[in-house]
Amino acid sequence: MMNKKPNSKAGFSLVEVLVATVISVFILGSSYATIISLAKGSESMINFTEMNTQTRTSLELFARDSRMCENVYEFTNNKISILRELWDSSTNSYTKRYVIYQFVPEAGTFTRSIHRASLVSGAYVPSTLIESETLLFDVEEMNLFYYRLVDPEIPNYDPIARTKLEVKHVQLEAKLKRTVLNLDNTNYILSARFMMRNKDVGE
């Protein structure tokens, strides 16, 4: 009588399969959480880098225009229109232009536009739009502040500029907020005051 060989092809038991499945689920869950965490960290760094680059470029441009300002046409807490000379490649000379900076709350943007300066009744006013660009996106809050020259000889001197002639310094403050992968990145702009070196002041 022949002896039967033991069955070498026996499979896993149901308990073993369930245990393996549970372990796999835990491993996959941990891996997913790690990947999401790494993705959020990467996006966060990209957001901060982009916002810092935008902020630095915008402030440099704003500072240069402010320092070269000859006159102020309009100034509010979210808009300023300044007259300055810009290079005109079509005439190979400097030409007076109005540069307008404006915060658009509903769009969350900060824009810069260049307009022709037309002479009307002996004064330059903004006219035709030449070009426009958006400097900052995802702007949640922004304010422009205006100051006049400080007179140390006058006690309790009010530094706040209330007329176009008084404006001599401008300061920009903003809060940028960007949300990616349910992660909020916030960047604050607390700029120094920029002096309008070419602008005459008066009372």
3 state SS of 43: helix
Hey, what are 156's tokens?
Answer: 């309790």
pLDDT of residue 21: 82
Q: Is the pLDDT of residue 135 over 80?
A: yes
The Cα–Cα gap between 60 and 192 comes to 11
- More confident of the two residues 191 and 139: 139
| Single-letter amino acid, residue 98 | Y
Per-residue pLDDT tens over the stretch 78-128: 999 999 999 998 889 999 999 999 999 999 999 999 999 999 998 999 999
Average pLDDT over residues 140-162: 88
The 8-class DSSP code of residue 200 comes to -
25 pLDDT band, cuts 50/70/90, is confident
Q: Is the pLDDT of residue 168 over 80?
A: yes
